Amino acid sequence: MKDMKTIVIIGAIILVLILLVLGMEWIKASQRTGNVPAAAGLPYDLVTTFKGDAANSRAFTWYTREPDAEGWLEVAEGETDDFTGPEVLRIQADHTRIRTDSGVRGVHKAEAAGLQPGTLYSYRAGSGEEGEWSGVYRFTTAEADSGVVTLINVTDSQGASAHDFQLWGHTLDKALQTFPDSQFIVHNGDFVEEPEDAAAWDDLFGNVQDIVASIPLMPVAGNHDEVDGKAAEFSSHFQVPDNGADGSNPGTSYSFDYGPVHVTVLNTESNLKKQTEWLKHDLAGTDKPWRIVAMHRPVYGGNMYKKVEDLADIFDKYKVDLVLQGHNHEYSRSYPLYDGQIVKDGAAKRRGTVYVVTNASGGKFNEKKEDQFYHQVHFQNDKQMFAGITISGERLTYQAYDVDGRMLDEVILQH
């Protein structure tokens, strides 16, 4: 009888604990705003990227709550809210469906091509139905043959709560205030904690909607974006050049040019052997004077990820200037390195490659890892960070800031 009573009490305690956990999850979920609109065909998670030539084209991707809503893109030259004229480009988006943890959604991908270089455009996306058009956003195509570019680097927004993504939104706001002339953003991966968490993606885009609807957000797949070889959610949110390694998940390895810089994006989570071969061809094939590689797990970060160490030989051979990395959730910048060693001042023939990890842009920070011989700067300030990279002629300036607007590191690379 006494045993029975104990069992009942333990059972009741377990039940209360389960209800408590479920209740907390429910509260957490109900705090998630996301940005899923009530109107079935109204775009959300709208993001622009480069797919073709940045001087002549621009790509746009968005979701709709109604999986089979139509998707249209309307683009007009100049600063206008009028999309009625005959000169307006009307492009029907490619349409697929995706099953998410909050229902089946429509995925729409459209690309405006044949644009003029260095020109301001206005656009909107929608289903074509009244009341189902996005706001009007603007973008400017790249100048033809420009020798100047500014880009922003952020990494590991990696949120799981509405608050996490407010932090990320604040980081990107501050980055754009600090570098208002930025032409694009490179995000080094781990966008969200759980790739199946649709509300997380909605919060990710919802907190930066005005920015990423205008300025391309070029994605790198992290270990929280591609899990067990699958990256369907990640791939569904972006369209990037279709020029990557055979066998990689769509949109996880690719390269693109902007003005004087060639940017190569690698996927450190799978298909490394084929990517290595592809990387050689990719870097051998560019005539751009500046080369940046973006990858999630670091070759030289707070620690080294063994599986990607061989890539450094290729970076040496093809004179990669800067490697943007993520994953470590701390700040690190290497000395210029060549053949695994620090390039001494005055070694004119070897200019070396600098490897950075720009802390995290969301709420998660790791304890600072041990200092290594290659670290020139290495710290953990437990603050969201971003970097601005400006290339002008023979000079690249990399500046890392915390979210309060303090510049914490700067390096100038000279050709």
- Give, for 61, the enclosing helix (H) or strand (E): strand 58-64
Q: Which of 45, 74, 132, 156 is the binder for Fe ion (CB under 5 A)?
A: 156
Select the span of 118-126, 150-158, 204-212, 391-399 touching Fe ion (CB under 5 A): 150-158
Helix (H, G, I), strand (E, B) or coil at 394: coil
**Does 225 participate in binding Fe ion (rule CB under 5 A)?**
no
- Rounded to a whole number of angstroms, the minimum distance from the CB of residue 197 to Fe ion is 15
- Rounded to a whole number of angstroms, the minimum distance from the CB of residue 328 to Fe ion is 8
Select the span of 34-42, 63-71, 186-194, 273-281 touching Fe ion (CB under 5 A): 186-194
Dist. CA 66–CA 102, nearest whole Å: 12
Q: What type of residue is 136?
A: V
Instruction: Select from 78, 74, 58 the least CA-distant residue to 133.
Output: 74
Q: Can you give the length of the chain in residues?
A: 415
CA distances from 98 to 65, 203, 232, 248 (A): 11, 18, 8, 20
Residue 213 buriedness (CB in 10 A; 0-12 / 13-18 / 19+): buried
- Rounded to a whole number of angstroms, the minimum distance from the CB of residue 319 to Fe ion is 29
- 278-337 binders of Fe ion (CB under 5 A): none
Q: What are the two backbone dihedrals, phi and then psi, of residue 47, each rounded to the nearest 5 degrees? A: -145, 140
- Token pair, residue 293, equals 């590689």
Minimum CB distance to Fe ion smaller for 192 or for 199: 192
- Closest chain position to Fe ion (CB): 190
- Rounded to a whole number of angstroms, the minimum distance from the CB of residue 222 to Fe ion is 6
Select the span of 15-23, 40-48, 132-140, 185-193 touching Fe ion (CB under 5 A): 185-193
- Rounded to a whole number of angstroms, the minimum distance from the CB of residue 156 to Fe ion is 4
Minimum CB distance to Fe ion smaller for 189 or for 336: 189
- Rounded to a whole number of angstroms, the minimum distance from the CB of residue 158 to Fe ion is 5
- Token pair, residue 120, equals 């301001």
Q: Confirm if 388 and 407 have CB atoms less than 8 A apart.
A: no
Minimum CB distance to Fe ion smaller for 74 or for 203: 203
Instruction: Select from 291, 295, 292, 380 the least CA-distant residue to 330.
Output: 380
Minimum CB distance to Fe ion smaller for 156 or for 409: 156
- Rounded to a whole number of angstroms, the minimum distance from the CB of residue 48 to Fe ion is 24
Q: Confirm if 288 and 257 have CB atoms less than 8 A apart.
A: yes
Strands 184-187 and 217-219, sheet pairing: parallel
- Rounded to a whole number of angstroms, the minimum distance from the CB of residue 166 to Fe ion is 18
Q: Confirm if 77 and 98 have CB atoms less than 8 A apart.
A: no
Select the span of 14-22, 129-137, 153-161, 334-342 touching Fe ion (CB under 5 A): 153-161
Minimum CB distance to Fe ion smaller for 280 or for 364: 364
- Rounded to a whole number of angstroms, the minimum distance from the CB of residue 193 to Fe ion is 9
- Rounded to a whole number of angstroms, the minimum distance from the CB of residue 344 to Fe ion is 33
Select the span of 5-13, 36-44, 161-169, 188-196 touching Fe ion (CB under 5 A): 188-196
Buried b / exposed e along 322-349 (16+ C-beta atoms within 10 A): bbbbbbbbbbbbbbbbbeeeebeeeeee
Select the span of 157-165, 332-340, 380-388, 398-406 touching Fe ion (CB under 5 A): 157-165
Q: Which of 132, 190, 282, 409 is the binder for Fe ion (CB under 5 A)?
A: 190
- Token pair, residue 87, equals 């000169």
- Rounded to a whole number of angstroms, the minimum distance from the CB of residue 301 to Fe ion is 11
Q: Confirm if 23 and 229 have CB atoms less than 8 A apart.
A: no
Helix (H, G, I), strand (E, B) or coil at 164: helix
Minimum CB distance to Fe ion smaller for 191 or for 238: 191
Select the span of 19-27, 90-98, 175-183, 184-192 touching Fe ion (CB under 5 A): 184-192
Q: How many residues bind Fe ion (CB under 5 A)?
A: 3
Minimum CB distance to Fe ion smaller for 111 or for 156: 156
Dist. CA 207–CA 128, nearest whole Å: 25
Dist. CA 91–CA 103, nearest whole Å: 27
**Does 74 participate in binding Fe ion (rule CB under 5 A)?**
no
Q: Confirm if 115 and 121 have CB atoms less than 8 A apart.
A: yes
Q: What do you get for the CA distance between the two ends of the chain, in Å?
A: 85
Q: Which residues bind Fe ion (CB under 5 A)?
A: 156, 158, 190
